[in-house]
Amino acid sequence: MNLLVSNDDGIFALGVQTLANTLAIAGHQVTVVCPDRERSATGHGLTLHDPIRAEVVESAFHPSIKAWACSGTPSDCVKLALGTLLSSPPDMVLSGINHGANLGTDVLYSGTVSAAMEGVLEGIPSIAFSLASYSSQGFQPAADFANKLATHLHKHPLAQITLLSVNIPPVPQHEIAGVAMTRQGIRRYFDMFEKRLDPRGKTYYWLSGEVIEDSDEVEPESVEMATLKAAGAELEWFRQTPTDVQAIRKNYITITPLQYNLTCAAGLASLQSWQDL
């Protein structure tokens, strides 16, 4: 396969190097376009008011890999690759392996997920991979699974172009419990803004936070009823599907299908009664 690989941790992150090298050794044609520095939690941001620069990176990857360091965001990287750097569209866009989980509502902020979503917006099957730990350096099991999943998806494509968000537990291969198809859960954070002074005495703030709740529930209004009915699925089946938050706790690799259409069907139905505006 012809694969485009990106991330949000930067071109020299161990996760993307392990992923790209594993794919190249497996015989795939791999192009890497990543931010030239850490760009985590940038969401789907684009660079509109500054130039975007891209430079070839030598010696950081397998010899068969063409790698570029881009000055922009993860979404910029994929846009630039698809629009200019690649001579033809790739068969698939892979993002990661992120250093840290992208579970539940994390996907709204994740540059890793957004890079893959950019591929979906262009009609290309895409997968985002995240290792559910900030401290673990054991990316190889995740990279091996990425190769396996990408090959399977290429041979058995989904009925419609869908982003798969994959989280891998930070445990040795023999401790992985299996693979779980999951729905998006919820993570809530306690946000803290630390007030500081710069060397010139001016105030600035540093955002920090920690997870205070990994919820197993999905609010009813977040369930896309129209989509479920179109797929011939029952709501009860959806509710019985484990969340990514639940499954990762049990050392399962989680695969969660995501879409860019954020329309809330239940909310739209409620708005139909607003006739007096």
At residue 217, the pLDDT reads 55
Please indicate, yes or no, whether residues 115 and 203 belong to a single structural domain of this protein.
no
Asked if residue 11 has pLDDT above 90, the reply is yes
Same domain (yes/no): 220, 247 = no
Arithmetic mean of pLDDT, 85-113: 94
In CATH, what number is assigned to the domain containing residue 30? 3.40.1210.10
Q: Is position 271 within any domain? A: no
Residues 205 and 159 in one domain: no
Residue 276 belongs to a domain: no
Residue 211 has what pLDDT?
63
**Residues 139 and 29 both lie in one domain:** yes
Please check whether residues 75 and 91 belong to one and the same domain: yes
- Considering only CA atoms, which of 71, 78, 73, 38 is closest in space to residue 55? 71
Residue 270 included in any domain: no
Domain identity same for 212 and 248: no
pTM of the model: 0.88
Residues 98 and 192 in one domain: no
Residue at 195 is within a domain: yes
Task: Look at residues 221, 223, 253 and name the one whose alpha carbon lies nearest to residue 238.
Answer: 223
Count the domains in the chain.
Answer: 2
Q: Within a domain: residue 228?
A: yes
208-218 per-position pLDDT tens digit: 766 655 555 55
Same domain for 49 and 148, yes or no, is yes
Contact 21, 60 (CB under 8 A): no
Over the stretch 220-275, which tens digit does the pLDDT of each residue have? 444 455 555 555 555 666 777 889 999 999 999 999 999 998 887 777 777 888 87
Residues 119 and 211 in one domain: no
Lowest mean pLDDT among 44-48, 60-64, 74-78, 220-224: 220-224
Give one DSSP letter per residue of 94-132, joined into a string. Answer: EEEEEES---GGGGGT-HHHHHHHHHHHTT--EEEEEES
How far, CA to CA in Å, does 259 sit from each of 22, 149, 232? 27, 19, 18
Residues 92 and 133 in one domain: yes
- Residue 267 resides in a domain: no
For 168, the 3-state DSSP assignment is strand
Residues 24 and 124 in one domain: yes
Is position 73 within any domain?
yes
Question: What count of other Cβ atoms lies within 10 Å of the Cβ of residue 161?
Answer: 15
161-174: pLDDT as tens digits? 999 999 999 999 99
Q: Residue 229: give the domain boundaries.
A: 186-234
